[in-house]
Structure formats: C-alpha cells, structure tokens
Amino acid sequence: MPTIADSALLQMTGLALTAKESEQHFAALFNLSPNVVLLTRFDDGLICNANRHFESTFGWSMDECIGRTTLEIELWVDPRQRQTALERTFSTVEPASLESQWQARDGRTREGTLYTQKIELSDGHYLLSTFIDNTEHKRAQQALRASEEKFAKAFHSSPDAIIITEKATGRYLEVNDGFCRLTGYSASEVLGRTVFEFVIMADITQRIRLIQDVEEHGEVHNRELLGRGKNGDIITVDVSIDPLVLDDTDCLLITARDIGVLKRAQAQIQHLAYHDSLTNLPNRALLMDRLSQQISLLKRRNLRGALLFLDLDHFKHINDSLGHPVGDSVLKIITARLEVSVRLEDTVARLGGDEFVVLISGLEGTQAEVIEQVRTLADTLRGLLAEPMLLDGQRLQVTPSIGVALIPDHGSTPADLLKRADIALYRAKDSGRNATQMFHSTMQQAASDRLRMENDLRLALSRGEFSLSYQPQVDTRGNRIIGAEALLRWQHPSLGSLPPQHFIQVMEESGMILEVGNWILEEACRAGSQLLRKGMIDGQDFSLCVNISPRQFRQTDFVERVERCLRTCVLPNRMLKLEITEGIVIQNLEDTIAKMLELKQLGISFAMDDFGTGYSSLTYLKRLPVDALKIDQSFVRDATSDPNDAEIVRAIIAMAASLNLAIIAEGVEKQEQLDFLAQLDCHFYQGFLFSEPLPLERFEALLRGRVHP
Ligand code: C2E
Ligand code: MG
Ligand code: MG
C-alpha cells in the first residue's frame, strides 16, 4: 500500500492541480517520498521527472533519463507490463496498481507494486508512477517458505519418530511417518487426542520421571526408555524432548529413535566378551566378576564357597592324535556333563584349552564339613567326567585332575583364590593325575619357590652357571672305565650348587630344557672329543652317556640336531649313548621307535635309564631298539637288605638277558652291593663306590691316573 505521504501526494494531485501553491507542495512531496516516483508525459511517455529514490534504486541520474522513455532505458523486465499498467490507468480514476518488476541499470531486478495515475499539471497531462519496492520482503518470504518446506521435508522423511504435542494438554499436534513406523499408529489415530489416551510409554515410573524432568529442566536429551507399539510389542527408544512455541502455544518437540537393534548388538558383544565361543560357558572375565560378587555375598551371609579348578589329563594327546574337531567335541561333552552336575546358582566357566572352573557357593557347616562336601562333589564330578564317550566311532575316556580352594579360607580376592586352586591342581597332577587336591598353605611356598627358580633358570645359561660332571662307568672285570655319564650341575648365584632333581622338571615343563639340552649335548660331545684327542680314552671302547629328556626327544628335528652336534664336535657316532626314560614312550610309541632307529643307523646307542621305576612294560621294551638297561639306584641300594628289591634286580637282569640287552647298575655305594650284582652276572656299574660325578679336569685326572698309574 502507498504510504501516507503518497496518499497525500495522490490526493493533492487529484484535488487541487490548478493552484501554484499545490504545485510547489507536489514538487516537495515528490522528492520527499520514501518510494520511487516517476513523472512521464502522457502523450509521448518521455520521462519528465524522477525522484532521488528512483536515482538511487535504479542507478539512472536524472539527466540521463529525462527526455527518454521507460522503454528506452529498459526499465521494464517485461515491457508488456507497461501496457497493462496503462490500460488499468485508463479504466479507473483511482490509482491503478500492478505487481511488476523493474530493472536497474546494472540489470538487477526489483519487485514491487506499481501505482499509476493520470494527473493534470499546469502544462499538460502526465502519468505519475509510484513504485513501492517489495524486493526484500518478497525475498524474506521466499526464504521463509523454503525453510518451512525444508523443515516439513525433514520432519516427514526423518527415520526417527518426531512428535509435536501441546505442552499443557499433551495433545498430539503433529506426528511424522517415523512415528507411525515406530508405534504402528497412523497419524489420524492420534492427532487431536492426548498422549494420555495411549500407552506408548510402557513403563509408568519411567514416564513419571520423564515428565518431572521436562517440568524441571524444560528439556530432556537422549533418555533410554521402554515403549509399547500398537500391537503391544515392547520397543527400546532413545528419546529427546525440547520446548517449542507454535502460534504462541507452548509445545514439546519429541524425537524418538528405535535403538532395539543397537541394544541387541551391544548385548551380543557383551555376551561374546564374557563367554567362551566354543562352549558358550562364562570365560575368565565373567568368572572373576561372579567370583568377586560371591566373595562379598558369602562374607555377608557367613557361608563358604569353593573354587574347583579342573584340567583334563593328557588332553593334548587327544588333540594331537585325533585332531582338533574331536578335541572340541570332547570339550563340549565335558561342558554338558559339568553343567548338569552343578546347581543353577553355581558357575561353570572355561578358562581356555582344557581348563574348567566350577564355582560352588552357599556351603554351610564347619570347615571340615565343607571340605567333606566339596570332596564328595569333586569325586562325583571326576566319576561323571571319566565316563567313556563315543566319538566318531571311537571310545574315548578322559579323566580330570581337580584343585580346590575354599572361599574365604584360601583367599579373599578372585585372583588369589584362582591362583591357589591352580596350585592345588598342579599338585593333583603331580601326584599322578585323576585326583582331587585341596589347597594347603604349605603349597603356596612351594609354588612361589618354583616361580623364583624358573626365573633364575632363565638366566642360568647366559650367565654360564651350568656345567657338566662326568661319572665313570666301570666293568668290574678288570676294573676298567668303559664310559662316563654326563650329569648337569647348576651353580646358583645365591643357593650354591643345586642337584638336578630340583630343576630338571621345571626346565622340562617350561620348555627351557630344549635350549639347555642342546647345550648339554654339545658340551658333552666337545669333552668326549677332547679326551679322545688327548688319547685318554679308547674310541672303540668308551661310551659317552647323555641324558635326554622326553620333551627334548620329541623335537621334530632331534635326529638332525644330534647328527650335526657329533659332526661339529668331531666325535665318532658310536661313542654316543643316549639315556632315555620310560616317559618317552608314553607319548607316541611309533614316533619314538622311528627316531631311535634313525639314530641307531648312525651308530648311536641307547640305554633305558631308571629301569624298574616306570611302566617297565615288556610289550614296548621288546619293540624299542634299546641297547642297555640301567637298574634304578633305589633297587640297588636296598637289594642287599630287602629281599623284594633283590628279587626285582634279579628279574631285571634276567629280562635284559632274555632280550639280549646289556645291563648296568647305578648307585652302587658298597662292596657288598657290587658282590651281589656280580653274583647275578651284572658286571657294569656306576656309583660312589668307584667315583662320584667329577668336573671334567678331575675326570681327566682320574683317567690319567689309571692310564699312567
Ligand atoms: P640319573 O640319570 O639316573 O643319574 C644318576 C644319578 O645318580 C645322578 O644324580 C648321580 O649323581 C647319582 N648317583 C650316582 N652314583 C650314586 C651313588 O652311588 N649313590 C647315590 N645316592 N647317587 C648316585 P644327579 O646328578 O643328581 O642327577 C639326577 C638326575 O637328574 C639324573 O638321574 C637324571 O635323570 C637327571 N639329569 C642329570 N643330568 C641331566 C642332564 O644333563 N639332562 C637330563 N635330561 N637329565 C639330567
Ligand atoms: Mg642317567
Ligand atoms: Mg638313573
């Protein structure tokens, strides 16, 4: 609409054109008008006057446009609009209006409402045009429309549910498609009704708290809530609520996102993190978690619990010989058996490999009574697990060893309890497997001693703390030295010289025996070669005996190692005799025989050490290509006093004779023992009676003394 000034202008021009005074007023108003005003001659359309606004808005100075038509200065974006404006002017005495676009000198267009009126001035007829510039207003409107469209698009196409409600009444004002998808309600079902008429929020306490928080803080962000769809399904949603004012009404903008899938994925990840994938049993992390809960629970209720640490005996053999799929099946069967034999409130966990843990809680009674209960349970478990299983047509049997720690008697933290059950388990294995062992405080000391020893042993080789002693082997007939056994010695930095029984087992279990065993073999062969070069021993008639542990023997490249060692040390193969124990054969008889045969082909011989203490099974002894038996020193020691041991010695000697094996007695300390052996035609021996094991120089001295008496 024209401004007041414009109306005044129009009125004046229309009412009192004849007055000179009026014309002066007209000129003043013409220039003062806040709108663009243009005066053109009616007959030829030439511009006669333009106000300052025209100049500033359209970029033409007065001088440039006067005397030209609006068409000549290309003022009209669409020249047809000029024609329309003129036509309207003719048809009415009122100012005619037209929405039109004018174009500035630089090409920019302005939109506005054009008012035109024919007027009569003293010198003729004119057309007075007032252009009210609406460009900015139009632009703002367009922008608003675009933003509304954008919002509507975002509102409707959002994957989330978006709801606008009236804050005071809870009336639904707007819902989008996301809402309909999430809840199953259509927009028409809910619009106009209130949130209280639907039970979309499933949990009443959650709902009350949500409303309270909105009241208190005005907004709520990312609240996890349970919702209920139209069909009754429970949905988990993440909800945010923001205040919004629409048409002066306080409203709430609610967005809700279905996070069910996310929650399920999260739960699955959680499950995987706390369970063993093969058996689906709780893993170590979950066990530790439950254990710490149990510890405090038992403490509050003044009850006891027990931690049973189970390990399957020789499970590795099943994996190695029958393959991992069979091993896995065994573990699953064991899992099932364990699960049925404990109560629901107890936990069965798998720590990995063949290690299982059973956590028993809520045991009542005195310590002795509880120990009794746990023992009975452990024995039942052992019985159940040892039941044969049929797999792939094979009948398999596995036995477990079980270590037990009592809660809280044997520890107050999960780590302590597990460690102690493990120590007890270790004992159970040590005592011959398929057994249950209760933890006892004395075991702790043993366990930490062992740990310390393991650490010390790791450094011993590089620190040069190992050495070999040589114990002569003698033929009683002529008192001749026919060989020597290399025996490992460890000079511990603080404990002094330690006997091998203390540490060979530790090296065997930790695998250190492989590296150390290599060193022993090389060291012994070097010594043998040195003695031979010095002419102190007879290459045809001397055996250098080296003890080989089962683990060392099982190395796949053991044969090559021995061969290489003999070559580099320049020792004739036939001088080397390997002392093995029966422990070697229980692992894999065929492989043992094959390796022994290969080594025998090279000229190396074998002695079966500590004979009589192990399985002493004739079946495999017949198959093993050994050359000699060494009667264990325990029988030799008591043979002269204990008729039973005497009988054993006799039987071993007879057995060796019938298998055509040489025989040598170890641990001979007394003349009468030697006499007893000689009487049975056993002439080879090793023992303190002749000499204890000696360092190489002293052994050399001994040989020298005999060669040059
Ligand atoms: P072993 O192979 O049966 O060695 C004989 C053991 O009897 C040696 O004990 C030796 O010192 C001891 N001995 C010899 N004569 C007598 C005697 O008259 N009376 C008594 N009471 N003992 C006697 P040592 O050196 O303490 O070795 C013990 C065991 O440690 C060995 O038994 C062997 O099984 C193992 N061992 C020693 N050195 C090595 C080695 O280099 N490698 C491996 N793998 N094992 C070794
Ligand atoms: Mg030996
Ligand atoms: Mg022995």
Condensed to tens digits (0 to 9), the pLDDT of residues 196-208 reads 888 888 788 888 8
Sorted by sequence, the CB contacts under 8 Å of residue 27 that are 6+ apart come out as none
Distance 577 CA to ligand 3 centre (A): 14
User: Ligand 1 atom closest to Cα of 513?
Assistant: 44
Lowest mean pLDDT among 32-36, 186-190, 306-310: 32-36
Q: Is the pLDDT of residue 292 over 80?
A: yes
pLDDT tens for residues 328-387? 999 999 999 999 999 989 999 999 899 999 999 999 999 999 999 999 999 999 999 999
Distance 689 CA to ligand 3 centre (A): 16
Nearest 5 degrees, angle CA 303-CA 308-CA 310?
175
What would the DSSP string read from start to end of 590-654?
Answer: HHHHHHHHHHHHTT-EEEEEEETSS---HHHHHHS---EEEE-HHHHHHTTT-HHHHHHHHHHHH
Establish whether residue 471 lines the binding site of ligand 1, counting it when its CB lies within 6 angstroms of any ligand atom.
yes
- Left, alpha or beta for 171 (phi > 0: left; psi -120 to 50: alpha)? beta
Distance 579 CA to ligand 2 centre (A): 6
Confidence band of 218 (pLDDT split at 50, 70, 90) = confident
Establish whether residue 609 lines the binding site of ligand 1, counting it when its CB lies within 6 angstroms of any ligand atom.
yes
Confidence band of 24 (pLDDT split at 50, 70, 90) = confident
Task: Please say whether the beta carbons of 291 and 414 come within 8 A.
Answer: yes
Cβ neighbours, 10 Å, residue 146: 10
Confidence band of 586 (pLDDT split at 50, 70, 90) = low
Q: What's the burial of 163, exposed, middle or buried (CB within 10 Å: 0-12/13-18/19+)?
A: buried
Angle between the N-to-C axes of helices 20-32 and 4-15, in degrees from 0 to 180, rounded to the nearest 10: 160
Q: Is the pLDDT of residue 4 over 70?
A: no
Please give the residue that has the higher pLDDT: either 447 or 468: 468
Alpha-carbon torsion (120, 121, 126, 128), positive or negative: negative
Give me the residues near ligand 2 (ion), CB cutoff below 5 Å: 547, 579, 609
User: Ligand 1 atom closest to Cα of 499?
Assistant: 26
For residue 337, the model assigns a pLDDT of: 96
Give the mean pLDDT of 417-427.
94
H, E, C per residue of 297-337: HHHHHCCEEEEEEEEECCHHHHHHHHCHHHHHHHHHHHHHH
**Can you list the domains of the chain with their CATH numbers?**
4-135 (3.30.450.20), 158-262 (3.30.450.20), 277-439 (3.30.70.270), 456-707 (3.20.20.450)
Establish whether residue 687 lines the binding site of ligand 1, counting it when its CB lies within 6 angstroms of any ligand atom.
yes
Distance 589 CA to ligand 2 centre (A): 21
pLDDT tens for residues 224-265? 999 899 999 989 999 999 999 988 999 999 999 998 888 888
For residue 663, the model assigns a pLDDT of: 96
